[in-house]
Structure formats: structure tokens, C-alpha cells
């Protein structure tokens, strides 16, 4: 099924297209996390399988987003699914026209790109690991992830374990407030920090159930706006916060010393974190992504019901 808005046409898989047309629950997934950019092999494939399984177990249809051979896709099945776990080029929303126009083999969607494609396919809920946000030292680098504006301006619920831990989380919350994004804490009063359950910052509002998220969703003042559901990592998978702070500080210093800027910052820092935590960050990353997918599916069911 092909759906087209403006000048971009999106290839929607039959399963996802049927579900959207029938008003059934669908959860969009970004592909960066499943590609070589997000997680090392074979963890990336495990992440894909666990996220898809979690979505299905709650009665929703998973919809992986990507550009493959220059075609924007929502819902990737069959042989193409294998390619999602391969080498990719990182693709924010602004890169989608380039990936399509210049026929990229595999453009992996970040949050902003996934939201753009999911919206074109009529999907209402999106799950990821951690969103991008305002970087530490933003006053010098001006580095604010395009994820934040996409969350504000795409009519989807984004489900994430907060923002990536090495960001400036206070300023990230400020930016979301300015952009008018409702931020809800899933059974928590704290904004989560990806690998840990609390960033030491309060989340503006707490919700206890998917039905409550759906109730907030249906009362938005602007139909074209989105919201963020912040889901803390399950307690048993949480990393030690004090150790993590040291690791993050070192990784950011190394990033600066190596002169890495722009889109290269996130992959560089994530790799350093994985190395310095002796692999413990990897199972944590998998667990939180799977849990987010499960909560997102419950929300999608509540919204479609
Ligand atoms: N969080 C992770 N791994 C990732 C990302 C986030 O643990 O790979 C990716 C997501 O795709 C997110 C992107 O949308 O990083 C943000 O990148 P940037 O900061 O360059 O906008
Ligand atoms: Mn950036």
C-alpha cells in the first residue's frame, strides 16, 4: 500500500496498512537502534525481536520505519527485515528527502524521522529507547536534537525511557515545556535518565495507566501536536547512577578531545558507555527498549479502543 502526502510517498506493509485502516493498535519503531549504529550485533537483532514480540503480546502491530533502496517504509517484513539489523546511515527527518532522492540503500530512522514516516502512515504511537535532546554545553555548540521539535509537532505519543543520559536533561525538559509538549511520567514522579529510573528531576505529570494516557491524548488542544510518555527502566535492569555519572563525564571528554561533533556525537558516546560499563549497559538498553515497546502497545490499544 502506498500513501502519499506532499511529495513523499511511503510504502506501508499490508499488515500495518490493514491495521491502520481498521483502526487497530499499531506501534511505530525507529530503526537506528536495530541497525549497526544503535547496538552491536547480535544485540541489535535481539532488540528487534524483543520489541516486536512485546508489541504483539499486548495486541498491537509493530511498524518498523526505514528508508530501503530509496523507498520510505512503514512496516518492514520478509527478507527486508534482515536488512534492518545491518549497516545503515543515520537519518533524521531532514535526511529523509536526501535518502529517497539519492536512493540510499538503508537510511535508519532516528526519532524525528520515525515520527515523520509513522505520521504519514497514520500511526498514533511510537516507541523508542531514549530520545535525543539538549546537549550539555549547548550554549557553545547549539546542539539540540531534531527529535524534540518532531515530538512537539507530530501527532503521536512518543514512549521513551526519558532522554539519553549524557544530555542536559534539565534543559531538555525546559525545551519540551517551551515547545508545548505534555510530558507524562509512567507510574513515576521523576523524569527517567535512560539507564537509571530518575534524573533527579520531577516529571510534570504522573499517569498510572494506558487509559489515562489515552484520556490525555484525546484532550489535546491542538490535533497536530504530540506528547511524551517517559517510562523508567524496570528496577531490576537499572544501572548504578554514581558509576554512570563518572562514565558519562569521561565519554563526553573523549568525544570533545576526538573532535566529534553533530550527528556523530550520539554513536560515539554510546559506544564509550558500553565499553566502560563492561557490557552492562547493553542488557539495560535491551530491557528498557522492550519495556517501552510493551507500554506503547498498551497505550496504542487504549487509544484505538
Ligand atoms: N538513544 C540510544 N541510542 C541511539 C539513539 C538514542 O540509546 O542510537 C538515537 C535515536 O535514534 C535518536 C538519535 O533519535 O539517537 C538522536 O540523535 P541526535 O542526538 O544526533 O539528534
Ligand atoms: Mn545533534
Told to judge if 164 belongs to the known catalytic residues of this protein, a careful annotator would answer yes
Residue whose CA is at the smallest distance from ligand 1 atom 21:
145
Measured in whole angstroms, the distance separating CA 279 from the mean position of its chain's CA atoms is: 21
Q: Is the pLDDT of residue 4 over 90?
A: no
Domain extents in the chain: 2-304
Mean pLDDT (the chain) is 95
Whether 299 and 210 have beta carbons less than 8 Å apart is answered as yes
In sequence order, what are the residues at sequence separation of 6 or more whose Cβ sits closer than 8 angstroms to the Cβ of residue 242?
A: none
Q: Is the pLDDT of residue 3 over 80?
A: no
Told to judge if 236 belongs to the known catalytic residues of this protein, a careful annotator would answer no
Q: Up-side HSE of residue 285: CA atoms within 13 Å toward CB?
A: 24
Mean pLDDT, to the nearest integer, of 101-120? 98
Ligand 1 contacts CB of residue 133 (under 6 A): no
pLDDT for res 127: 98
Mean pLDDT, to the nearest integer, of 98-117? 98
Give the distance (Å) from ligand 1 centre to CA of residue 22: 32
What are the start-end ranges of the H helices in 126-168?
A: 138-141, 147-153
Q: Which residue among 11, 46, 90, 164 is the active-site one?
A: 164
Alpha carbon distances (Å) from 269 to 36, 136, 252, 256:
15, 13, 7, 10
Q: Model confidence over 166-207: pLDDT tens digits?
A: 899 999 999 999 999 999 999 999 999 999 999 999 999 999
Q: What is the pTM of this model?
A: 0.95
Alpha carbon distances (Å) from 259 to 89, 118, 255, 256:
20, 34, 6, 5
Mean pLDDT, to the nearest integer, of 10-35? 98
Quote the percentage of the chain above a pLDDT of 70: 99
Mutate to test the pocket of ligand 1, among 107, 109, 110, 149 (most ligand atoms within 8 A of CB): 110
Domain 2-304 fold: Indigoidine synthase fold (3.40.1790)
Question: 3-class SS at 149?
Answer: helix
Radius of gyration of the chain (CA): 18
Burial class, 108, CB count within 10 angstroms (exposed 0-12 / middle 13-18 / buried 19+): buried
Ligand 1 contacts CB of residue 110 (under 6 A): yes
Mutate to test the pocket of ligand 1, among 35, 164, 175, 272 (most ligand atoms within 8 A of CB): 164
Q: Model confidence over 34-69: pLDDT tens digits?
A: 999 988 899 999 999 999 999 999 999 999 999 999
pLDDT for res 270: 86
pLDDT for res 254: 94
2: confidence class by pLDDT, cuts 50, 70, 90: confident
Amino acid at each position: 500500500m502506498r500513501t502519499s502526502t506532499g511529495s513523499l510517498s511511503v510504502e506501508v506493509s499490508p499488515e500495518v496498512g490493514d491495521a491502520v485502516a481498521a483502526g487497530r493498535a499499531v506501534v511505530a519503531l525507529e530503526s537506528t537502534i536495530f541497525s549497526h549504529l544503535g547496538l552491536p550485533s547480535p544485540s541489535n537483532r535481539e532488540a528487534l525481536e524483543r520489541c516486536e514480540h512485546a508489541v504483539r503480546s499486548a495486541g498491537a502491530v509493530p511498524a518498523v520505519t526505514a528508508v530501503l533502496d530509496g523507498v520510505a517504509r512503514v512496516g518492514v517484513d520478509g527478507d527486508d527485515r534482515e536488512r534492518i539489523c545491518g549497516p545503515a546511515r543515520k537519518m533524521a527527518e531532514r535526511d529523509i528527502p536526501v535518502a529517497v532522492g539519492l536512493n540510499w540503500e538503508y537510511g535508519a530512522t532516528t526519532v524525528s524521522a520515525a515520527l515523520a514516516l509513522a505520521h504519514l502512515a497514520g500511526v498514533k504511537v511510537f516507541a523508542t529507547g531514549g530520545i535525543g535532546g539538549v546537549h550539555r554545553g549547548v550554549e557553545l555548540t547549539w546542539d539540540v536534537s531534531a527529535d524534540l521539535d518532531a515530538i512537539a509537532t507530530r501527532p503521536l505519543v512518543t514512549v521513551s525511557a526519558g532522554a539519553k543520559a549524557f544530555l542536559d536533561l534539565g534543559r531538555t525538559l525546559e525545551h519540551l515545556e517551551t515547545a508545548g509538549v505534555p510530558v507524562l511520567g509512567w507510574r513515576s514522579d521523576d523524569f527517567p535518565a535512560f539507564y537509571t529510573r530518575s534524573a533527579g528531576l520531577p516529571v510534570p505529570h504522573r499517569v498510572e495507566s494506558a487509559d489515562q494516557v489515552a484520556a490525555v491524548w484525546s484532550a489535546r488542544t491542538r490535533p497536530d501536536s504530540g506528547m511524551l510518555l517517559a517510562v523508567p527502566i524496570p528496577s531490576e535492569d537499572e544501572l548504578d547512577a554514581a558509576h554512570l555519572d563518572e562514565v558519562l563525564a569521561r565519554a563526553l571528554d573523549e568525544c570533545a578531545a576526538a573532535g566529534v561533533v553533530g550527528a556523530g556525537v550520539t554513536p560515539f558516546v554510546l559506544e564509550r558507555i558500553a565499553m566502560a560499563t563492561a557490557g552492562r549497559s547493553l542488557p539495560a538498553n535491551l530491557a528498557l527498549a522492550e519495556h517501552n515497546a510493551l507500554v506503547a502497545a498498551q497505550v496504542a490499544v487504549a487509544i484505538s479502543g
